Structure 1
Amino acid sequence: MRYLVIYTLLLLAGCTPLAPNAISSEGSVKVLRFADQTYEPEIKTVVIHPASSNQTSSLLPAVTKLGGENLILEFDDLTTQRDTYYARIFHCNYDWTKSILMDLDYMIEYNEFPINNFEFSVDSHVPYVHYRFVIPQVKLPGNYVLVVYRGSDKNDLILSKRFMVYDNRVAFLNERNLIGAGDIASLNQQINFTINYKDLDIINPLDNVKVVIRQNQRWDNIATDVRPSFVREIEKEIEYRFFDENKMFKGGSEFRFFDMRSLNYPGRNVARVNKSVKPFELYLEKDKSRANEAYSQYDDLNGGFILDNLDYRDASFANYAFVNFTLVSKDKIPGDVYVTGAFQQWNLNKENKMYYDTTNREYTAQFLLKQGWYDYQYVVKSNSLPPYALEGSHYETENMYEIFVYYQPFQPKADMLIGYLNLYKNKR
């Protein structure tokens, strides 16, 4: 009987429930995603950029060389009080699944960092606390996700944001082919390149080397695990040539944009400002489909945004405002329409989905955005229409591409980022 009681007690102890995940202010359970994500609606304007005082640094990719300059995380918390936030870093494989590495395998120090650099907004219509965090350096190249959580509860998630650290162990030979052949030339951009790995001993490079290509830092149309055309093991070269349309990137069109650096004297593509409410409401000029329009050349930010305040010339005085987007459409499109750009972290979800007004025959969406200059596009998610159905696609469009090369050695058993190339097509 004594052994039966002890066995029962052990069973009860083993059934102790795990700590539940935290609940967001909207009532949903917070589940960590190894992607760019905010887990509370009060967290806004999240960006990781290279350490620089230059205002345009937010346009640069969240990519740095191993042992090079630090990256900076910045975000706003729309509240009046400072909170206690901590950051943690996860190493991921090329496909953004968590690797098997332990913290000490890739971290120089203990993997928990307080975020102590903060600043309160001044006389803003929406009060907020601006946080700034210098991301510590890591020991290994690869994909990383920075996770911010509240206090000592690692389940009380605030945000997750991706960044990459590379160690160039391969050389790139880039061929300047821009387009494909025949009828597909007017829509697509072709990227041909060769990787030389003479300084590495790679077994079976056809399967063990992974290549990912990204256009304009977008996550919604990224090309993963790009397969090579030829492998020359004697020369230690891997060649990538893309002749098929499904292996090319659509050139798209130059991004739409608006200027809300000043709320007193709003800039281009802002139709009007409603100052009778706070925060102010901005109404952009009504947009229409560009699917059948000829290519129009102008400089854009490749989907990015620059924060700026022309009213006070002080970042702490920058205001948030509700920005209203309107897309005129005679009929409802067979599928979903989204407003997308870096300001929405390239996500296609309910937060940036547009809704069709049958009375006015137009799509509408509203976002709370900080003062600045913003690029955006309309993306279609449909079984019968391509994503660029409302924007059109042209091979002449200026785009920025990044090529990531990954290799998983025997030790450590995780994908290392051994090559990185940043290049432009049709650079002005």
Structure 2
Amino acid sequence: MRKKYEWFKSIVLILLSVSALTTFAQPYTDSVYRHEIKSVEFYNSTKKASFPLINLNSGETVTLGFDNLAGGTLNYHYTIEHCDAEWNPSNISTAEYLKNYNDDRILNYSYSIATVQKYTHYELTLPNENIAPKIPGNYILKVYDDSDPTKLVLTRKLYVLGPKINIAAEIVPSSDNATRQTNQKVNFTLDYGSLRVQNPNRDVRTLLMQNNRVETAIMNNQPTYIRGTQLIYSDVNINNFAAGNEFRHFDTRTLKLNSQNILHIYRDTANTVMMLTDPDRNKANYTLEYDLDGNYYILNQDGTDPRIDADYAHMIFSLSTARQPNTGTPYIVGRFNDYKLDENSKMTFNTTDNKYFNTLFLKQGVYDYTFVWVDKNGKADNNALEGSYFETENDYQVLVYYRPAGARWEELVGFRLLNSTKK
């Protein structure tokens, strides 16, 4: 009887542990898991900093590049895993979504040349002869150490499109008078043609992102109304984005002289760049500035190959605002740090200067960044220090996902890139 009880108890514990893993599993994100990994770039190979999307079986590729500041040569492996629209694993066999092999080693690496900070640069192109997707959808690219998938180094989101739906979309002022001067609204229509859509509320959903920022993305599960094979999303209360402000930026393509937004450059045993103090920009009126929509480019005017001859510098940022540290904390974010609100992006208040400071170790290039205010309750506000203006130039990504009744995975079947100032 006791043996039977112990057997039953062990089964219950196993089931509870599996349930806990299922309940608390987190969706995949763009993340870096090692402090020595820097300057991660991931883009469609035709254009740097572009949205990492390819058409299935089209010959298009994406490029991944990153540096390891520890130097030397490490044994990095990689794979891609199919996910649903919310970046949860699809839980299907690798044979169903991968061609050839399940994982492979990164063999393309180079050592830095004539830099103060030594590093090894790794590069990878996908799809390739060893790893390639079979079906459309979201894929998470995983890079890990020692052939062990549990030793994650970084993850990146890859979008593989199998176009089956036409998208018509436009950006208009907010329908709400209270936000007409601060927001941008996206209306769109999907035409699924001959695609089998029995229940639009279940079979199709559409994700809208502003400047590829997942924290402000909006998922559309239900059309406003249906007209034949067209699904129309135009309700006055949906897809209304705070337009924000143009990104702040700096230029370190050369460390020999001061350039945009740089106060002073110190070059000794390490490179240190003192930035001009940033002001609080939450003002009444919009000011036109040209930006990169949050992106960054690794560049070096004094070298020939910025992948291996661009150097690193300690970038000292400062922010002047009337907001006091007892009410919250500012964070400095952009694509360069995946918009992560963590200890690395957190700014510290200096009572002597009455300013907030942070130091980031960044590779030479041109960078966009912005400040996010997080109050004492942990609520993030993207516009508290930047303001929000309808005139702001923004990119919007429209991604359409399809999963008919009985299907075991979700496919990416439509994509459209919009710009708020370009028709």
> Quick check: TM above 0.5?
yes
Could you say what secondary structure the match of 1:221 adopts? strand
Query: Which one of 31, 39, 53 corresponds to residue 63 of structure 1?
Result: 53
TM-superposed deviation, 1:309: 0.3
Q: Which residue is 2:230 aligned to?
A: 237
- Cα 1:33–1:150 shift into 2, 3 Å: farther
Q: Partners of 1:377 and 1:226 in 2: how far apart?
A: 30
One of 17, 28, 39 as aligned partner of 1:45: 39
Per-residue deviation at 1:357? 1.8
Which amino acid in structure 2 is aligned with residue 48 of structure 1? F
The code of the aligned residue for 2:53 comes to V
What corresponds to 1:35 in structure 2? 29
* 1:361 and 2:354 correspond: yes
Alignment of 1:290-329 (within 5 A): 290-315=281-306, 316-329=308-321
How far is the alpha carbon of 1:271 from its aligned partner?
A: 0.7
Counterpart of 2:369, as a letter, is Y
The AA in structure 2 aligned to 1:91 is H
**What's the counterpart of residue 390 of structure 1?**
385
**Deviation sequence 1:113-133 (CA, Å, 0-9, x none):** 110001100121111111111
Give the conservation status (yes or no) of the 8 Å contact 1:220–1:348: no
Give the 3 Å change call, closer, same or farther, for CA 240–32 of structure 1 in structure 2. Answer: closer
Distance 1:412 1:151, change over 3 A: farther
| Other-structure match for 2:194 | 199
Distance change >3 Å, CA 119–CA 411, structure 1 → 2 = farther
1:206 is paired with a residue whose SS is helix
- RMSD of aligned Cα (Å): 2.4
| Alpha-carbon distance, 1:183 to partner | 2.8
For residues 291 and 311 of structure 1, what CA distance do their matches in structure 2 show? 37
1:176 CA displacement: 4.6
Equivalent position of 2:342 in the other structure: 349
Matches of 2:167 and 2:27, distance apart in 1? 32
Q: 1:228 to 1:335 in 2, by over 3 A?
A: farther
Q: Give the whole-Å Cα distance in 2 for the aligned partners of 1:177 and 1:194.
A: 14
Q: Which residue of 2 aligns with 1:27?
A: none
1:32/1:160 CA distance change after superposition, 3 Å = farther
Check 1:199–1:178 CA distance in 2 against 1; reply closer, same or farther (3 A cut).
farther
- Does the 8 Å CA contact 2:187/2:239 hold for their aligned counterparts? no
1:23 matched residue in structure 2: none
Unaligned runs of 5+ in 2: 15-24
Contact 1:180–1:188 (CA under 8 A) maintained in structure 2 = no
1:406 aligns to what SS in structure 2? Answer: strand
Partner of 2:139: 144
Corresponding residue to 1:112 among 93, 100, 103? 103
**Matched positions, count:** 397
Give the alignment partner of residue 256 of structure 2, picking from 255, 261, 264: 264
Q: Which has the higher strand share?
A: 2
Whether the 8 Å contact between 2:27 and 2:87 is mirrored in structure 1 is no
- Aligned with 1:224: secondary structure? strand
1:335: how far off? 2.6
1:228: how far off? 2.2
Residues in 2 aligned to 1:285 and 1:242: alpha-carbon distance in whole angstroms: 44
Query: Conserved in 1, the CA contact under 8 Å of 2:282 and 2:386?
Result: yes
**1:98: which partner in 2?**
89
Matched, 1:423 2:418: yes
How far did residue 112 of structure 1 move? Answer: 0.5
Deviations 1:3-35 (A, max 9, x none): x9xx99xx9xxx9xxxxxxxxxxxxxxx99611
Residues 331 and 361 in structure 1, CA contact (< 8 A), matched pair in contact too:
no
Q: Counterparts in 2 of 1:120-131, with a 5 A limit?
A: 120-131=111-122
2:67 paired with 1:73: no
Deviation at 1:209, TM superposition (A): 1.2
> CA–CA distance in 2 between the matches of 1:44 and 1:161?
14
For residues 340-369 of structure 1, give each alpha carbon's deviation from its aligned partner in whole angstroms, at most 9, with x where no partner exists. Answer: 111011222222111222332111111111
2:157 & 2:338 partners in 1: Cα distance? 10
Residue 22 of structure 2 aligns with which residue? none
Q: Which moved more, 1:173-182 or 1:209-218?
A: 173-182
TM value normalised by structure 2: 0.88
1:297-322 per-position Cα deviation (integer Å, ceiling 9, x unaligned): 12210010111101223322110111
Of 67, 75, 82 in structure 2, the residue corresponding to residue 84 of structure 1 is: 75
Quick one: which amino acid aligns to residue 298 of structure 2? L
Task: State the partner residue of 2:244.
Answer: 252
2:288 maps to a residue whose letter is Q
State which drifts further: 390-399 or 205-214: 205-214
- AA of the residue aligned to 1:139: K
Say whether the 8 Å CA contact 1:272–1:282 is kept in structure 2. yes
